[in-house]
Amino acid sequence: MPEAAPAAADEEVLRLEGLRKSYNVGLPIETEVLHGLDLTISRRDFAALIGPSGSGKSTLLNLLGLLDTPTAGELYLLGRPVRELDDEQRTALRAQALGFVFQFHHLMPAFTALENILMPLMVRHGRPGAEAVERARQLLREVGLEKFETRKPAELSGGQQQRVAIARALVARPALLLADEPTGNLDTKTAADVFELFRRFNRDFGCAVVVVTHDPRLSAVCDRTIELVDGLIVSDQRQPA
């Protein structure tokens, strides 16, 4: 792997100030889902976001990923306020700063595993160079799929597709990785290997990690646990150093 990122571990990646999200705004059935959240994520953070169903985790994840806009308050990503950005600016900032691992893989069916992993770099830079291709191949090795680089998604199992999606999320070395139940389709050993890969990117490249999970075993091995209940952060605890 190339040398570590120079960013300081305590450098702020994400900050929420009074973040609120409502649906059906202006209608009699208007419902506020998130009620003024304050939160800071730094490059050193390896955090679990937990909470019961209906607590607002998915809504918050969509806001953190710039896939939706808050009703009030502000979200700062790499120091940049994002609420008033237009769609083009949001897309550019998302590509620059964020990596995503969703429960559903969203792989491009016409492209091979290697091409799918390279997609974020191709969107940003066009045709990938030799260094980018080798980086993608290294990630394929990291997730145990080095023999499958020419296979298309339909030729891969669900767990293999998830591993391709994880490699794709990491290939651009994002400042923040957002993962929604990332190991749900993986066996125990592969899940542990993927989790260690996240750890190494967090440690070596200053990639902050936020994992949404219902699995208490996963949250227990994160350095920080943020609990959301009824649209409010009710607990934010760090593991002892």
Q: Which residue has the tokens 């009620």?
A: 35
Q: What is the percent of the chain with per-residue pLDDT over 70, rounded to a whole number? A: 95
Give the span between the Cα atoms of 179 and 228, in whole angstroms. 16
- Mean confidence (pLDDT) of the chain: 89
Q: Which residue has the tokens 């350095």?
A: 223
Q: Which helix (H) or strand (E) holds 2?
A: none
Under 8 Å between Cβ of 16 and 73: yes
User: Which pLDDT does position 163 carry in this prediction?
Assistant: 87
Give the span between the Cα atoms of 32 and 21, in whole angstroms. 6
Give the span between the Cα atoms of 121 and 215, in whole angstroms. 32
| Residue 241: pLDDT band with limits 50, 70, 90 | low
Q: Where are the beta strands (DSSP E) in the chain?
A: 12-23, 31-42, 46-50, 72-77, 80-81, 98-101, 176-180, 208-212, 224-229, 232-238
Q: Is 41 helix (H, G, I), strand (E, B) or coil?
A: strand
Which residues neighbour 70 within 8 Å (Cβ) at sequence distance 6 or greater? 19, 20, 21, 34, 63, 83
Give the span between the Cα atoms of 105 and 123, in whole angstroms. 18
Residues 80-111 pLDDT 10s: 999 888 999 998 898 889 999 887 778 999 99
Under 8 Å between Cβ of 149 and 112: yes
Residues 101-148 pLDDT 10s: 887 778 999 999 999 999 888 877 777 788 989 999 999 998 889 999
| Residue 7: pLDDT band with limits 50, 70, 90 | low
- Report which of 136, 137, 138, 181 is spatially closest to residue 162, judged by C-alpha positions: 181
CATH code assigned to 12-238: 3.40.50.300
Exposure on the CB side of residue 88, measured as CA atoms within 13 A = 0
Question: Which of the residue ranges 42-56, 59-73, 179-193, 213-227 would you say has the lowest mean pLDDT?
Answer: 179-193
